[in-house]
Amino acid sequence: MWNWLRQIKDSITQKTTGLMRMQFWRKAVEDIYCNNPPHQPVAVALWRAVKRHNLSKMWFTKIIDEREKNLDDRAYRNIQELEAYAENTQSALLYLTLEMLGVKDIHADHAASHIGKAQGIVTCLRATPYHCTRRKVFLPMDICMLHGVSQEDFIRCKQEKNVRDVIYDIASQAHIHLEHARSFSKKVPVKAYPAFYHTVALDDYLYNIRKVDFNIFHPSLQKRNTLLPLYLYIRTWKKTY
């Protein structure tokens, strides 16, 4: 379901089409919680997960609502707006994952909130070169204005210092969220850790973007790190996130 919702925005040419697809999933969630899932493989699998783990309907609703608002295809006005989007999509998905793991813990929830926000920010950065090829820029406008950078500067793939400063500020916010999440690590139940191991990929991207001096268009940022599975294994072995 998550991939379907995520792909809707990039697969449509008219907002009306996107709204119709969102409505399908909104009704599917309602039917799932009425014990009457639609005859669609993903919806049936989701119904089984809801029944097995007693998942909260609220998180599904938040994800759909936020994805629907995001169909407007405009830049985030500020970093807080990007963080709110991440909280209601990425963090909400982590809250559901914690429920599936049987974790009910306020510290785990706090960690999930910050990791979800970091995930949302990194996803926005990672997708920027692709969006620029379509003449679209979604980076927070307040940070762009602070450094005197226009959307056209990104569309033209400029690499001047002020453009890199925008990326630095945004990436730094993702790093701060990861540090906040880790400040709870000693209080978070160990059985919650599997929900957070994807921080390996976030750390890898933030490390690589520092290496290229925050040039968002550097080709190396589009390459897959073949060592990520090893890093993940080490983190699971050490029981850290």
Domains detected in the chain: 1-72 (no CATH), 76-240 (1.10.600.10)
- The band of 69, judged by pLDDT with boundaries at 50, 70 and 90, is confident
Cβ atoms of 127 and 9 closer than 8 Å? no
The model's pLDDT over 70-106, given as tens digits with 9 standing for 90+, comes to 887 789 999 999 999 999 999 999 999 999 999 999 9
Cβ atoms of 112 and 98 closer than 8 Å? yes
| Total length of the chain | 241
The model's pLDDT over 193-208, given as tens digits with 9 standing for 90+, comes to 999 999 999 999 999 9
- The band of 129, judged by pLDDT with boundaries at 50, 70 and 90, is very high
Print burial letters for 30-47: b (CB count within 10 Å at least 16), e (below 16).
Answer: eebbeeebeeeeebeebb
What global pTM score does this model have?
0.92
Print burial letters for 66-86: b (CB count within 10 Å at least 16), e (below 16).
Answer: bbbebbeeebbeebeebbbbb
